[in-house]
Structure 1
Amino acid sequence: MRRTLRTAGIVAGLLALTLGATTASWAHDPYSAEGKEELRKIMADHEPAVRIGDGLTIQAATPCVSGMAGQYPCKNIDLLAAMPLSTIGGGNGNSMWGWTDSTTGKEYIIFGRTTGASFIDVSVPTAPVYLGNLPSFNGTSSSWRDIKVYANHAYIGADSISTHGMQVFDLTRLRGVTTPQTFTADARYTGFGNSHTLSVNEQTGFIYAVGTNTCSGGVHMVNVQSPKNPVNAGCVSNDGYVHENQCVVYHGPDTTYTGHEICFNYNTDTLTIVDITNKSAPVQLSRTSYVGVGYTHQGWLTGDHARLLMDDELDSDTPGTKTFIWNVSDLNAPVNTSMWINPNITATDHNLYIIGDRTYQASYRAGLRILDSSGIASNQLQEIAYFDIYPASNTTGFNGAWNNYPFFASGTIAISGIEQGLFLVKHNPTSQPPPTTVYSDTFETATGWTTNPNGTDNATTGAWERGDPEATTSSGAKQLGTTVSGVNDLVTGRLAGSAAGDFDIDGGTTSIQSPAITLPATGTLNVSLSWYLAHGSNASSADFFRVSIVHNGGTTQLFNQAGAASNRNGAWATGTWNISAYAGQSVRILIQAADASGASLVEAGVDNVTITQQ
C-alpha cells in the first residue's frame, strides 16, 4: 500500500468538499480498510443515512412512470421488488454477486452484509425469497465483504477482519430450500486473513484476492479448480496495494498476448496490467497514471478487450460524475483517451460492468446508471436509464448503491444498498423504437451454414451439424434433446448413441460458419444467439465454445467459454455482442467448439441466431 502527501491531500480535499467546515483528524491511513471506515463514519455523522427500515415505504413491482417508481426517481427502469435489510439478515449492505443454477435455471443473489452473506432466490423477481444467512467467520463484523462465484460455489472474503480468510459455500445446497436457514461454510481458505475484494476468472478457475494482508497488498492468486479445496497459487507482490481488478484470458488487439491470462489492476493511482499466465513469474506489462487521479477504484473491459471504463472513487465529481475511458489495445502502453462527465449527477461512482454496448454503473447516492457505450471508440458515452435508491441526494458521498449485478439471462438487475437492502429492477427502454431484424436463423431449414469452412478442423467425432438433437446424460444433462424453438438446432453430433461419449466432440476442434450477411451501414448492431457448453469432470480449460465474427479485416472473437475440470451440465443461455464496428460490411458468424484436452466428454449447441439494428 502506498500513501503520499498528494493522495492524503486528495482525501482531505474530498472531506472539505463533502463536509464543508468540518475538520477531520485521521487515526488511520485513509486508504486502509480502517481509514475508509473512518471516512464513512465521518460522512454518516455529517448526514445520517436514510434507511428503508426507518420510514421509507417498500413497494412491490412498480413501473417507472413520469420519472418515478413509487418514491424512487427513475428513467426507463422498472422496480420489480425491494427487500429491506431487516428482511434479509440485518446489518448494513455492501457488495454482492449472482449465481444461475445451470440445472434448474433458477437465479440467486448472494448479498454481502456487515455480519454475513445472505442467499436470496430471485427467480421470480417480483417475489424474491430470502433463504438464509452464512454468518461472518467467528461472528465478526466488516463493512466490506466481497463475493464471487465459480463452478456453483460462492467465495466470500471480508476486509477489516484479520482472521476471516475466504469462506467457500456450495450453492447447490440452496436447491429445495424454502425457509430461512443459518448456513455453515463448506470450507475456508486461510492463505490470507482480510481481503478487500475478490475477482474470478471462470475460464481458468482462479480467484484473485486483492487488498489482503499478504502479497504486499497485491494480487493473491488462489486455484479453485477443485472448488472446495482452494490452493495458494502465488503473489503479484511488486504492484503495491491493489484495490480491485479484473483478470481475463486475453483476446484483444494486442496479438502478442493472445491467449495469455492478463490482470487489469486498479492500484489507487494507476491502471496496472500484469501477465499472470505463469503464476510463479508474473510480468508487469505497464503501470499508467492519468490526469484527474483521485483514487483508482474499479473498471471493466469491453467485450473485444480493446477498451476499458474505469471508476475513480475520490476524483472531483464536479461538474458531473466522471468515468475514465481507456484504449488498452497496446497492453504495454495503455492510454487514457478521455474522461466522460455525466451531466445529470455529481455522485461518487463505484462499480461498473459492461455487457455488449451497455454499461451498468453503481453510483452510490445516484443509484444505478445505465450508459450506452456503443460509441466508446470515439470517447462517447450516453446515460440512457437510471434507478435512484437514495432519493435524498445525487451528490458526492458514500450512501446508497454499492454494487449492481446485471448478468442474469432474465434481464433482472440487482442493486445492493448500503442502508437500504436489495433492489431488483429491469431495464425497460420504452423511449426507444424496437430493433430491426437484419438476420435471423432458427435452423428449421438449411440456409447455407458451412461445416469446417477453413478446412482446419481436426475433431474426429462430434462435428457441428444442423438437425433434431438426441438427448444424452452423464452425471446430468449433456447433449440437450430440446431446442429453444422448433425442432432443429446446431449441435455437435446430434445422435445419442449407446453411451454419452459416442458422438461427443473428440480429437480437437469443430467449426461451422454462417452464409455472408450484409450489415447496414448505420445504427447499433448486435448479434445474439442461444448456446450451451456441457462437459464432464474429465474436461479442462483447453476445451471451449467460441463465437467469432469474420469481417473484412479478419476474424474477431466475440465470446469464449472455456471448459474446466468439473462437471458442467447442458443448459441454454443467451449471449449478445455488439458488432457495430463492422457496419456496412459483409460478415459471417463463426462458431467453434473443441475437446482439446484429450478424451473428455464435451457437447455444445446453438439456436436462434439473430442480428438486429437499433
Structure 2
Amino acid sequence: MIKKTFFIFVLIIVSCSKKEVVNQVKQTIINPIAKCEDGFAGEFPCNDYDLLTHITLDEIAGENTQGNDSWGWVDPVTNNEYAIVCTNKGTSFIDITNPADAKIIGFLKTRTENSLWRDVKVYNDFAFIVSEADNHGMQIFNLNNLRGLVNIPVEFTADRDFTSFGSAHNIVINEDTGYAYPVGTSRSATYKGGPLFININNPFKPVNEGGFEDYAHDAQAVTYNGPDSDYSGREILIGSNETEVVIADVTDKQNPVKISSISYSNIGYTHQGWFTEDFRYFILGDELDERDKGLNTRTIVFDFTDLDNPKHHFDYSGPTAAIDHNGYVKDNLFFQASYTAGVRIIDISNIDAKSFTEVGFFDTYPENDNTAFNGAWNVYPYLPSGNIIISDINRGLFVIRKSKT
C-alpha cells in the first residue's frame, strides 16, 4: 500500500511537470526589436509603444508594391496569431505569433487586376476580400489553409470567388449574424453603391439577400445592445456616407429602414467610424477636412444615445496636421491610423466630459507629419496577445506593443 501510494504520488509529480513544460512551450516570449526610448524605436518616432517587427513591402509582395488594408486572425487550434496584409497586388498572410521571427506563409493574388484599394475582414476562420479592381467581386479564403505548412511561402488560390457584384471599396462583417456588407460598390448598380447584404453563414455558399440604397464609403454593422431600448437586439448599420453619417436598421434584409442621419460642420469626406463599446457614442474620421479645411487631425464624436435623434458631441483635435484614416475602439482606447503621423492611441475614458487624451503613438512614416496620403493605412488592435498590427502604404507591416513599465 505504501509503495502504491508513493508510485501514484510520483506519477502526479511527473504529470504536473509535463503540463508545466507544455505550458512553457506554448508561451511565446515577446521581445521588441526596438524599444521606444527617448522618443524613438530605431528610426521611428514613438511614445510608449515598442516595435516588435517590421516587414517591408518588397518582402511581402516584391517590387512595386503598395500597402493598404489589414486585419488579424487567431488560429483556434494552435492559437497562432496572423496578420492579413493587403496590397495593390493581392493579400499576404504572415504568422506573427513570435513577431521577431515572423513568417510570410503565403500570398493570394488579386482576382482580376492590381488596385490601390483592397480590404479584408474575417468571419469563422474565413477571410473575405474585396477590391476596387474591375470585376473583382469577393474572394473567400479558408484561413485554416495556413496551418502546418512546411515549404513557405505558398501561392494560394481562393476557395471561392463570389462574383454577384463587381468592385467594392470595402467590406464590413457582423460576426454575430454572419452577414457581410460590401460597401462602395458601383453607383450605377441596383443599390447605387449602398451596402449589399451577403449571407455568409455558410462561407462556401454565400447568398446575396439585397441591399440598402444609400451610398456608403465605409460602415460598421452591429447587433445593438446600447441605451436606446427601441433597437435592442436589432442589427444596426452605421454608414459613413461621404457627407453624412446614416443609421439604418438592417435586421429585415428585405425591408431595411433608415432610422436617422447626421451631418457636421467643415465636411471634407465622411470616411469611417466606430462605436464605443457601450454603443453610446460614435467616433468618426473625416478624410479630407485636414487637407481642404486646414485643420489639425480632427476626430468627430457623436452622441448616439437616441438612434432616432443623434447629436454632435464634440470634436477632438490631434497634435499634427496628418490625415486620419481608419480608427477602432478597444476598451477605453481609440486606435487611429493617421497616415503620415502613424498610429495614435487616444484615451477616450472621459468621453462623457468631452475630453480625449493622446497617451501614445508609433509613427511609421518618420519623414514628416504632412497632410498627405502616405504612411499608416490601417491598425488592428484586437489580438489576444496585445500586439497591434499596422499596415503602411510605403513600408508594409509593423507589429507594435505597449512598452512595459
**TM-score, length-scaled by structure 1:** 0.59
Matched, 1:142 2:115: yes
Match of 1:592 in 2: none
How many angstroms does 1:177 deviate by?
1.8
Match of 1:306 in 2: 280
**SS at structure 1 position matched to 2:97:** coil
Q: Contact 1:60 / 1:82 at 8 angstroms: preserved in 2?
A: no
Q: What does 1:142-541 correspond to in 2, within 5 Å?
A: 142-159=115-132, 161-178=133-150, 179-213=152-186, 214=189, 215-237=191-213, 239=214, 241-316=215-290, 318-342=294-318, 344-428=319-403, 430=405
Question: In terms of Rg, which structure is larger?
Answer: 1
- Counterpart-to-counterpart distance in 2, 1:366 and 1:163: 34
State the one-letter code of the partner of 1:369.
R
How many angstroms does 1:319 deviate by?
4.9
How many angstroms does 1:66 deviate by?
0.4
Q: How many corresponding residue pairs? A: 367
Residue by residue, what CA displacement relative to the aligned partner does 1:108-132 show, whole Å, maximum 9, x if unpaired?
A: 1111010110010011112110011
- Counterpart-to-counterpart distance in 2, 1:257 and 1:297: 25
Question: CA 1:387–1:223 in 2, change beyond 3 Å: closer, same or farther?
Answer: same
State the one-letter code of the partner of 1:194.
S
Residue by residue, what CA displacement relative to the aligned partner does 1:159-196 show, whole Å, maximum 9, x if unpaired?
A: 1x221100000000100124101000000111111000
Residue by residue, what CA displacement relative to the aligned partner does 1:283-306 show, whole Å, maximum 9, x if unpaired?
A: 000111111211000000011101
How many angstroms does 1:316 deviate by?
2.8
- Counterpart-to-counterpart distance in 1, 2:75 and 2:311: 39
**SS at structure 2 position matched to 1:172:** helix
Residue by residue, what CA displacement relative to the aligned partner does 1:389-414 show, whole Å, maximum 9, x if unpaired?
A: 11111121100000011000101101
State the one-letter code of the partner of 2:165.
F
**SS at structure 2 position matched to 1:391:** coil
**SS at structure 1 position matched to 2:114:** coil
Residue by residue, what CA displacement relative to the aligned partner does 1:426-481 show, whole Å, maximum 9, x if unpaired?
A: 01264xxxxxxxxxxxxxxxxxxxxxxxxxxxxxxxxxxxxxxxxxxxxxxxxxxx
Matched, 1:77 2:45: no
- Counterpart-to-counterpart distance in 2, 1:389 and 1:370: 14
- Counterpart-to-counterpart distance in 1, 2:404 and 2:255: 47
How many angstroms does 1:60 deviate by?
7.0
Q: Contact 2:289 / 2:295 at 8 angstroms: preserved in 1?
A: no
**SS at structure 2 position matched to 1:134:** strand
- Counterpart-to-counterpart distance in 1, 2:357 and 2:57: 32
- Counterpart-to-counterpart distance in 1, 2:355 and 2:207: 42
Q: Contact 2:35 / 2:403 at 8 angstroms: preserved in 1?
A: no
Residue by residue, what CA displacement relative to the aligned partner does 1:522-569 show, whole Å, maximum 9, x if unpaired?
A: xxxxxxxxxxxxxxxxxxxxxxxxxxxxxxxxxxxxxxxxxxxxxxxx
- Counterpart-to-counterpart distance in 1, 2:352 and 2:182: 31
Q: Contact 2:68 / 2:88 at 8 angstroms: preserved in 1?
A: yes
**TM-score, length-scaled by structure 2:** 0.89
Match of 2:40 in 1: 68
Q: Contact 1:88 / 1:132 at 8 angstroms: preserved in 2?
A: no
Percent identity, aligned pairs only, is 42
How many angstroms does 1:419 deviate by?
1.1
State the one-letter code of the partner of 1:422.
L
Bigger relative contact order, structure 1 or 2, given CA contacts below 8 A and separation 6+? 2
How many angstroms does 1:320 deviate by?
2.1
State the one-letter code of the partner of 1:229.
K
CA RMSD of the aligned region, Å?
A: 1.2
State the one-letter code of the partner of 1:219.
P
State the one-letter code of the partner of 1:80.
L
- Counterpart-to-counterpart distance in 1, 2:167 and 2:390: 24
State the one-letter code of the partner of 2:118.
R
Residue by residue, what CA displacement relative to the aligned partner does 1:312-365 show, whole Å, maximum 9, x if unpaired?
A: 0001364521100110011111111111111x2110000000011011000000
